[in-house]
Amino acid sequence: MSAPWQVSRESLPPTSRLLIERAHEELLAGNLDDRRLQEVRPLVRESWERSWRGRVGPEGAPPLDLVSDELDAYRLAHPLASVMDMIRALLLPGEAEDTGVIIAVGDQAGRLLWIEGDSQLRSLTDGMGFVAGANWSEDAVGTSAPGTALALGQSVQIRGAEHYNRLVHPWSCTAAPVRDPETQRVLGVIDITGGPEVVSLQARLLVDATARAVESELMVARLRQRSEGSRPRSTAAKGRTPATARATLHVLGRDRARLETESAHGESMIELSARHAAILLMLAVHRQGLSAERLCELVYGPGVSPDTLRPEMVRLRKVLERTAPDLVPESRPYRLPVALDTDAHDVLSLLDRGAHRVALTAYRGPVLPESTSPGVEDFRESVRAALREAMLSEASLDVLLSYAEIPEGQGDAETLRLALEMLPARSPKRAGLVARIERLEA
């Protein structure tokens, strides 16, 4: 079955792609009065200007705001989770994996929660960071259908070079916000991404109709719940201190780890000593728990008595009791009572999902580079090895070239040789790579 938007390939009023690209360059240079900008659609031009004034970068992957377990939990609780089957039925008829388009559903902040559709296209869009958990608001990536639809509160179509981020220029998209049927508060956004066919009149009508159908279904479900006399129930015990909603340990490229937590009381951030960082990281890596002897070995090295570890654990517990009481480690075995995310695990998760560009952007450097704890050194090397293996075996040429510019890739002759093989014969970048390889092998 073909999708309704594939009936016609009529797209937005034609404007030369070259003119749009040149206008975009003038805007990035700050030439807001350039006459070419007047040839760009007002909706797009105004979005470009908001993005430019907000200092949004014209290249690079979007920030990844939600990952792994945190993403799963957030999706499960989101109001649009209950209508995903309806969205799929309306926008992905037939074989969803071979539709020629991608559908994305995001929250009111522009964070993509579900991405489904053509498997081949998804493997390509992963490279520009169009992945679940990524932030596609205007503040993060500039002009795009999901972000601009949320910024304006109306359906939007963005074609090719009209995107603010150059990485998105090969794609077109149509998106519409979804509102709460009673309060009219924006709940999220529905987007279709693909080629020129997704910016047809039919595509816009279909996405708008899907958003209205979703709002109607939410209202029906709400009325049904009321008629049955059900009421939402709070899972929090009365009078209990709110639990930590999110805890993340930042260890990439940092000698002193940073622990960030979010709860009903607000957000907090503390820097940890090298020893406390090593302990927390090992407990985050070994979520099943560790004996005192094994944790001591991972933090201090073999042959050190667990009596050396115990005073440090007391000091760590005191630090956490003040800032993140839910994270205070339990004993016998030592383990964390709640999940602790790390930015290193985020990178590994992205690599597993094939989002190599986003993973490379998220990789800020080695894990606790100055730490000599054996467990930290092993984990540091495993993250570095996973990144390198993904770059060599699966990454696209531009991602591989970006990897060759970070410290891990600069001295890697195998990486440079592979990039050289992938470069077109007449590429001006070849001479620089050849020179670098010769210096390494001299």
Note the pLDDT of residue 10: 37
- Judged against a pLDDT cut of 80, whether residue 11 lies above it is answered with no
- Judged against a pLDDT cut of 60, whether residue 96 lies above it is answered with no
* Band (3; pLDDT cuts 50, 70, 90): low
Note the pLDDT of residue 344: 92
* Band (243; pLDDT cuts 50, 70, 90): low
Note the pLDDT of residue 433: 92
What mean pLDDT, rounded, does the chain reach? 86
* Band (331; pLDDT cuts 50, 70, 90): confident
- Judged against a pLDDT cut of 90, whether residue 247 lies above it is answered with no
pLDDT (mean) for 228-254: 59
Query: Could you tell me which residue, 298 or 184, shows the higher pLDDT?
Result: 298
Q: Note the pLDDT tens digit of each residue in 149-201.
A: 999 999 999 999 999 999 999 999 999 999 988 888 899 999 999 999 899 99
Q: Note the pLDDT tens digit of each residue in 339-359.
A: 888 989 988 888 887 778 778
pLDDT (mean) for 114-136: 90
Q: Bridge partners of 267?
A: 262
From-to residues of CATH 1.10.10.10 in the chain: 246-341
Most confident of 225-234, 255-264, 391-400: 391-400
From-to residues of CATH 3.30.450.40 in the chain: 4-227
Note the pLDDT of residue 323: 81
Note the pLDDT of residue 249: 92
Note the pLDDT of residue 242: 42
Note the pLDDT of residue 127: 81
* Band (12; pLDDT cuts 50, 70, 90): very low
The verdict on domain 4-227 having CATH code 3.30.450.40 is yes
Q: Could you list the beta-strand ranges (E) of 145-203.
A: 156-159, 172-179, 186-194
Tell me 143's DSSP state: S
- Judged against a pLDDT cut of 80, whether residue 14 lies above it is answered with no
Chain centroid to CA 261 = 19
Burial class (CB in 10 A: 0-12, 13-18, 19+), 53: exposed
Tell me 36's DSSP state: G
pLDDT (mean) for 310-319: 93
- Judged against a pLDDT cut of 60, whether residue 298 lies above it is answered with yes
Note the pLDDT of residue 239: 38
- Judged against a pLDDT cut of 50, whether residue 264 lies above it is answered with yes
- Rg value, the chain, Cα: 25
Note the pLDDT of residue 394: 81
Note the pLDDT of residue 353: 73
pLDDT (mean) for 84-96: 82
Listed residue (126, 109, 91) closest to 211, CA to CA: 91
3-class state of residue 206 by DSSP: helix
Structure tokens at 236: 């929090």
CATH architecture group of domain 246-341: Orthogonal Bundle (1.10)
Measure the CA–CA gap between 283 and 317, rounded to whole angstroms: 13
Residue 177: partners with Cβ closer than 8 Å, 6 or more residues away:
149, 150, 153, 154, 155, 186, 188, 189, 211
> What is this structure's pTM?
0.56
Note the pLDDT of residue 346: 84
- Amino acid in the structure at residue 210: T
Note the pLDDT of residue 98: 63
- Judged against a pLDDT cut of 90, whether residue 245 lies above it is answered with no
- Judged against a pLDDT cut of 70, whether residue 403 lies above it is answered with yes
- Judged against a pLDDT cut of 80, whether residue 41 lies above it is answered with yes
CB 135 within 8 A of CB 175: no
Listed residue (153, 140, 141) closest to 189, CA to CA: 153
